[in-house]
């Protein structure tokens, strides 16, 4: 039950474009939006797997479709967003994870270096798989 | 440099017929040693005694004088007029809270949430007084000390768009305080607090905008605390899934 005093409160509504009011908010919304492009890459990967399973002609068809200039532009944009997603995600790791070694807290920079090193190792492994 | 600065202050007087919020301009002396709060006190004492706002300690400890200064959540006792010159300086009540009058907001919602997360030491069994106090090493203190610096000034809630869009979110300061007790070696209340923190409106509502930590005038990192609490909640969920006999 709202008291007579509360009934006279002024309640402000968050404007629809609240995320344009501050740079950090805009950056945050772009990071949220980047998830859509991460999903796009996942769908493209699944389609690739399906094409490979359907044999060489399906695979060639997939490659031809992906060579469409419009799709290439879309994928370049998507890559930029996925990189933004990955880099911001990696950079936040030290704040979310407190790692202890022999009773001492591992400094943020070391955790960050570990995350990027891990990323590099996985990337190198995938690159080796693709080009060998 | 001019010796005056204009403060554009949000006024809301619900008892008046046309009670819509509006801005009023006041010219106050621009002095080297004056914070925004000194300007407001000058208005109250010399220009318009009807202005309502909260303040107390004038030294960044009490957490009463938080307001939006030029759209940013700030402690008005720690924000200096000379840094805002030439003005005008826009002063509004803290975002995301209902306004009672002028610059005064209602914090009942936060007080309720603060109680919910049980920000005190919980023990399974209290030691008898004869067994002395619960000792703690400096390293154990360092684990939670930064989270204990919170002064409940609500700047983090005003900075948090998630809380602005959905006031059911427990919010940065309350979760940071819960985390402070969870990290305390003397405390055994993690599971009790988890029932609040692990709810959808608890830690999982947070999308890590990070503005709460940027706004904090005491160097607390509530955004970090929430992510660490997410990790703890997830680990607890996996543990209770794999070892169901362990959970109560």
Give residue B62's pLDDT. 95
Per residue in B168-217, pLDDT tens?
Answer: 999 999 999 999 999 999 999 888 898 888 888 889 999 888 899 999 99
Q: Are residues A36 and A76 in the same domain?
A: yes
Q: Is the pLDDT of residue B248 over 60?
A: no
Give residue B2's pLDDT. 72
Q: Are residues A63 and A127 in the same domain?
A: no
Cα(A71)–Cα(A78) distance, rounded to whole angstroms? 10
Cis peptide before A51 (omega within 30 of 0): no
Which pLDDT band holds residue A70 (cuts at 50, 70, 90)?
A: very high
Q: Are residues A61 and A13 in the same domain?
A: yes
Query: What value of ipTM does the predicted structure carry?
Result: 0.78
Give residue A30's pLDDT. 92
pLDDT cut 70: percent of chain A above it: 98
User: What mean pLDDT is predicted for residues B220-233?
Assistant: 91
Nearest to B218 by CA among B66, B96, B35: B66
Helix, strand, or coil here: B182? helix
Whether A12 sits inside 8 A of B227 (CB atoms) is no
Q: Are residues A109 and A127 in the same domain?
A: yes
Q: Are residues A53 and A101 in the same domain?
A: no
How does DSSP assign B126-177, residue by residue? PPPGGG------HHHHHHHGGGGG-----HHHHH-HHHHH-TTS--HHHHHH
Provide the β-strand partners of residue B7: B26, B89
Helix, strand, or coil here: B72? strand
Measure in Å the smallest separation between the Cα of B40 and chain A Cα atoms: 21
Greatest extent of chain A over all pairs of C-alpha atoms, in Å = 75
Give residue B246's pLDDT. 65
Q: Are residues A86 and A43 in the same domain?
A: yes
pLDDT cut 70: percent of chain B above it: 98
Q: Are residues A69 and A32 in the same domain?
A: yes
Nearest to B154 by CA among B229, B79, B59, B220: B220
Per residue in B45-93, pLDDT tens?
Answer: 999 999 999 999 999 999 999 999 999 999 999 999 999 988 899 999 9
Give residue A1's pLDDT. 61
Per residue in B105-120, pLDDT tens?
Answer: 999 999 999 999 999 9
Whether B12 sits inside 8 A of A12 (CB atoms) is no
Measure in Å the smallest separation between the Cα of A54 and chain B Cα atoms: 38
Q: Are residues A84 and A119 in the same domain?
A: no
State in words which class domain B108-242 has: mainly alpha
Q: Are residues A103 and A92 in the same domain?
A: no
Nearest to B204 by CA among B242, B237, B246, B239: B237
Task: Break chain B into its structural domains and give their ranges.
Answer: 4-105, 108-242
Q: Are residues A26 and A70 in the same domain?
A: yes
Place of tokens 């970090």: B224
What CATH number does the domain containing A26 carry?
A: 1.20.1300.10
Whether A24 sits inside 8 A of B161 (CB atoms) is no
How does DSSP assign chain A, residue by residue? ---HHHHT-B-PPPPTTGGGSSHHHHHHHHHHHHHHHHHHHHHHHHHHHHHHHT-HHHHHHHHHHHT-HHHHHHHHHHHHHHHHHHHHHHHHHHHH---EETTEEPPHHHHHHHHHHHHHHHHHHHHHHHH-
Provide the β-strand partners of residue B28: B5
Whether A95 sits inside 8 A of B227 (CB atoms) is yes
Measure in Å the smallest separation between the Cα of B69 and chain A Cα atoms: 14
Cα(B57)–Cα(B80) distance, rounded to whole angstroms? 16
User: What mean pLDDT is predicted for residues B2-28?
Assistant: 89
Cα(B29)–Cα(B39) distance, rounded to whole angstroms? 7
Whether B207 sits inside 8 A of A103 (CB atoms) is no
Whether B12 sits inside 8 A of A10 (CB atoms) is yes
Neighbours of A41 (CB within 10 A): 14
Whether A95 sits inside 8 A of B223 (CB atoms) is yes
Which pLDDT band holds residue B6 (cuts at 50, 70, 90)?
A: very high
Q: HSE, CB side, 13 Å, CA atoms: give it for residue B60.
A: 12
User: What mean pLDDT is predicted for residues A102-127?
Assistant: 90
Which pLDDT band holds residue B241 (cuts at 50, 70, 90)?
A: confident
CATH 3.10.20.30 fits B4-105, yes or no: yes
Give residue A92's pLDDT. 86
User: What mean pLDDT is predicted for residues B234-243?
Assistant: 86
Strands of chain B, DSSP E: 4-11, 22-29, 66-69, 72-75, 89-92, 99-101, 104-105
Q: Is the pLDDT of residue A103 over 90?
A: no
pLDDT cut 90: percent of chain B above it: 71
Q: How much is the pTM?
A: 0.88
Q: Total domain count for chain A? A: 2
Domain boundaries, position A33: 4-96
Q: Are residues A52 and A110 in the same domain?
A: no
Query: Between residues A6 and B53, which one has the greater pLDDT?
Result: B53
Instruction: Choose among A24, A95, A98: nearest Cβ to B211.
Output: A24
Interface test with A, best of B107, B224, B232, B233 (most A CBs within 10 A): B224
Residues of chain B found within 8 Å of residue A18, distances taken between Cβ atoms: 161, 164
Q: Are residues A20 and A68 in the same domain?
A: yes
């Amino acid at each position: 039950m709202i008291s007579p005093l509360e009934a006279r409160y002024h309640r402000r509504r968050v404007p629809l474009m609240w995320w344009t009011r501050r740079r950090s908010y805009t950056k945050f919304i772009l990071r949220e939006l980047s998830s859509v492009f991460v999903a796009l890459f996942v769908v493209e990967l699944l389609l690739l797997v399906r094409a490979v399973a359907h044999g060489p002609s399906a695979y060639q068809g997939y490659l031809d479709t992906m060579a469409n200039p419009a799709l290439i532009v879309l994928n370049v944009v998507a890559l930029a967003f996925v990189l933004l997603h990955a880099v911001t995600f990696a950079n936040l790791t030290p704040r979310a994870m407190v790692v202890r070694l022999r009773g001492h807290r591992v400094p943020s920079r070391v955790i960050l270096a570990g995350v990027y090193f891990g990323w590099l190792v996985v990337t190198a492994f995938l690159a080796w798989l693709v080009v060998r | 440099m001019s010796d005056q600065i204009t403060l554009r202050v949000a006024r809301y007087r619900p008892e008046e017929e046309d009670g819509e919020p509006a801005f009023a301009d006041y010219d106050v002396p621009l002095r080297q040693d004056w914070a925004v709060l000194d300007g407001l006190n000058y208005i109250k004492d010399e220009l318009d005694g009807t202005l309502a706002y909260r303040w107390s300690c004038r030294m960044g400890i009490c957490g009463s004088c938080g307001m939006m200064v030029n759209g940013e959540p700030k402690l008005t006792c720690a924000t200096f007029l000379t840094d805002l010159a030439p003005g005008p300086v826009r002063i509004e009540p803290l975002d995301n809270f209902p306004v009672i009058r002028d610059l005064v907001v209602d914090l009942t919602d936060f007080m309720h949430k603060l109680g919910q997360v049980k920000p005190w030491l919980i023990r399974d069994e209290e030691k008898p007084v004869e067994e002395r106090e619960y000792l703690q090493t400096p390293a154990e203190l360092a684990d939670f000390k930064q989270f204990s610096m919170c002064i409940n000034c609500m700047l983090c809630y005003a900075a948090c768009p998630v809380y602005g869009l959905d006031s059911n979110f427990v919010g940065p300061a309350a979760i940071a305080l819960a985390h402070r007790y969870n990290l305390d070696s003397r405390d055994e209340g993690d599971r009790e607090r988890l029932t609040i923190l692990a709810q959808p409106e608890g830690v999982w509502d947070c999308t890590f905008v990070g503005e709460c930590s940027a706004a904090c005038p005491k160097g607390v990192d509530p955004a970090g605390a929430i992510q660490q609490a997410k990790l703890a909640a997830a680990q607890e969920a996996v543990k209770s899934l794999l070892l169901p006999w362990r959970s109560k």
